[in-house]
Structure 1
Amino acid sequence: MKIGKLPAEMLNKNIIGKIRVKRPEVLVHSGIGEDCSVINFGNDCCVLSSDPITGSGSFIGRLAVNVSCNDIAASGAEPLGILVTIMAPESCSEEDIFELMNEINDAASIINIEVLGGHTEVTGAVNKMVVSTTAVGKGPEGGYITSSGAKRGDYIVVTKSIGLEGTSILASDHEKYLEGRMSRDQIENAKSYINKISVIKEGVIGGRLGVSSMHDATEGGLLGAVWEIAEASNKGFELYEDNIPVTSETRNICSIFGIDPLRLLSSGMMVITAKDLAPLQDALKNQGIDSSNIGRITGCSKRRVIIKGGQEINVDPPQNDELFNIKFDK
């Protein structure tokens, strides 16, 4: 099997399709494109999301905190805390675990969440540090947003730019390889993208405005996130390549490694669908968040395309992330 997330068809057949119990308290169940579960607790609802960090050798503590909390934010809820599971290889030291927890606690402090507990062990089952977090959030009953709410005619808006997480990881993990292929300033700029991966502000704004859907663009990048919204909503989409924001650092790194920036890990970019464009972009701008209108949701679920140079190109379901497809010159 290929490295990365299971394809949607395989996920439905072997994972989601095997879930038998559906509790009435659960408002949002497991499904393709739904990163969060929502549980009714009376006046409030509890929002839960879980994610591992496996593709990065750098920033794993910071990524582990932000990736799962970003999913909570994509539901328009406030993240309150995380449970952390650390699987450490036999080659690690006590200092490695100490430094990892410092990074996790620093990241948690920035976004004001508590580390609620978890599990830590050294195991021969892994050959590098693996960190998985489960984030817990709170929101008003009926006030949550799902990936399945996109409506025909909605605008598709993205914040910041694509590939932020993947660019930062590649620049940090392969810094020596990039030297001589990129300028020192570009490498440092690319590494600094790790500071932009939180989308909690975007989630609060989207929740307040009642947008139709939100999705944090993680594995599979922009195209994966938009495809998952469309799949969850049983809709189609058209994207306009010229409108998609991509920095020169991301473009250069993707060119060097022979990968597609549109399918590269993109935590830090929120995909939002909304009926009204101006109020959303104005609210984002007021918080200092750049945004771009990159397309529309369409009614035909079989038409999922990106328009390049006047031509429509079909967008396939997300496969493994481009982070796992990098190529090196001999």
Structure 2
Amino acid sequence: MNLLDLPPRRSLGRVHVPAVTLAHGGGGKAMKDLIDDVFVSAFCNAKAPDVLEDQARLDLAALARYGDRLAFTTDSFVVDPLFFPGGDIGKLAVCGTINDLAVGGAKPLYLSCAVVIEEGMPLDALRGIANSMAEAARMAGVRIVTGDTKVVQRGACDKLFITTTGIGVIPPQIDLGIHQIKPGDGILVNGLLGDHGAAILAARGDLALETEVASDCAALHGLIEALLRAAPGTRCIRDATRGGLATVLNEMAEASALSIEIDESATPLREEVRGFCEILGLDPLYLANEGKVVIAVPPAEIEAALAAMRAHPLGAGAALIGHASGGIPARVTMQTVFGGKRIVDMLIGEQLPRIC
């Protein structure tokens, strides 16, 4: 369905049952009413347009004003539970896709939203998730312009799966790439690590924390824009989602054929997160994040990069955690608080399933 630049004329259809049924995926009036009630009402913020086309139509001249390269990404979200401290699957889908664009230096502009809904999904919960997506997109200055809806029988999926695709434009002066890291570059993060993984565990009831840890789920393009203005020589930016910090560092080391060494004492972790990892036997370096980036910056721009991030609400805890060097290629090591060193391997398998 195309939700872009169509005149608002007809009244929205409404769903008058409490839960999604198979009829809502059948392509008829029940499906039209579901799309109107849940998605068009949230994403258009107006009466439904007369016609919903099968595609969004984007003005190429308008896109070209922002840069000379198109950035295009897609991601699916299967998080369990759907709602967790600090967010829900809808906010996660919007912010996660925005961040996949932003770490390449792109200005995020448009998103699509495709949903697979399990029969029996409560309508109020579905409306809440759609409204959460709409609010996250509005706050980020992007538009959800097209999408798709499918309904499957009970047991064929777990309540709701969302796939979002994003389009952005990269300005001509920006050229970020994981292979561009050089010896001596600083490795920076924008704040506390592992909060999203901790929030999901808490929401599942797998641990009881005296202090609630909220997911760090956030759209980071504003932070990244400020960073690139202050440190235009930034080599690369990656978001540390599934696999956490350790996996991103290994990807950086492998692509650049360099060694990366980090300092455990400089790696920012919430004490509650550190504590529950010790209890459960988890390594916090592998915990998922949804509002954290790992950045490689040339030595001369480290302080400027840190200052720019610390001046932004989503980078107040920014820290220099290590450096790239010409040591053993493709190896990541950590200087521990006990004075020794350990190898930090890439995650094999998944420490926590259904995390995003």
Using the size of structure 1 for normalisation, the TM-score is: 0.77
Q: 1:52 aligns with which of 49, 73, 76?
A: 76
Is 2:269 aligned against 1:240?
A: no
| 1:167 CA displacement | 1.9
- For the structure 1 residues 92 and 47, does the alpha-carbon distance in structure 2 shift closer, same or farther, using more than 3 Å as the test? same
The answer for the alignment partner of 1:277 in structure 2 is 302
Q: 2:107 aligns with which of 55, 71, 78?
A: 78
Tell me if structure 2 keeps the 8 A contact 1:165–1:197. no
Within a 5 Å distance, the mapping from 1:61-140 to structure 2 comes to 61-124=90-153, 125-140=156-171
Offset of residue 94 of structure 1: 3.4
- 1:142 offset after TM fit, Å? 4.7
Could you tell me how far 1:278 is from its partner in structure 2? Answer: 0.9
Name 1:205's counterpart in structure 2.
226
SS at match of 1:64: helix
Q: Which amino acid aligns with 2:257?
A: N
Alignment-mate amino acid for residue 269 of structure 1:
K
Shifted more, 89-98 versus 50-59: the winner is: 89-98
Work out whether residues 253 and 331 of structure 2, in 8 Å CA contact, stay in contact via their aligned partners in 1: no
Contact map agreement 1:144 1:207 (CA 8 A) in 2: no
Deviation at 1:302, TM superposition (A): 3.8
Residue aligning to 2:44: none
Q: Which runs of 5+ in 1 are unaligned?
A: 1-39
Deviation, structure 1 residue 51: 1.6
Partner of 1:115, secondary structure, is strand
**Deviation (angstroms), 1:325:** 10
| CA distance in structure 1 between the aligned counterparts of 2:256 and 2:152, rounded to whole angstroms | 40
In our comparison, the structure showing a higher alpha carbon Rg is 2
For 1:293, the equivalent position in structure 2 comes to 320
1:323 alignment partner, SS class: coil
Counterparts in 2 of 1:319 and 1:325: CA distance versus 1, 3 Å: farther
Q: How many residue pairs end up in the alignment?
A: 277
Q: Does 1:163 align with 2:194?
A: yes
Report which stretch shifted further, 248-257 or 287-296: 248-257
Cα offsets for 1:28-54 (capped at 9, x unmatched): xxxxxxxxxxxx979521112222222
1:213-232 to 2 correspondences below 5 Å: 213-232=236-255
| C-alpha contact 2:250 2:331 (8 A) present in aligned 1 | no
- Unpaired runs of 5+ residues, structure 2, are 1-62
The CA distance in 2 between the partners of 1:103 and 1:296, in whole Å, is 38
Instruction: For 1:128 and 1:144, locate their aligned partners in 2 and report how far apart those are by CA, in whole Å.
Output: 40
Match of 1:303 among 318, 326, 331: 331
Backbone CA RMSD of aligned residues: 2.3
- Mean Cα deviation higher: 126-135 or 58-67: 126-135
Retained in 1: the 8 A contact 2:110–2:166? yes
Aligned match of 2:346: 317
Q: Is 2:79–2:354's contact at 8 Å kept on the other side of the alignment?
A: no
Say if 1:248 and 1:198 are closer, same or farther in 2 by CA, change over 3 A.
Answer: farther
TM-score by length of 2: 0.72
**SS class of match (1:169):** helix
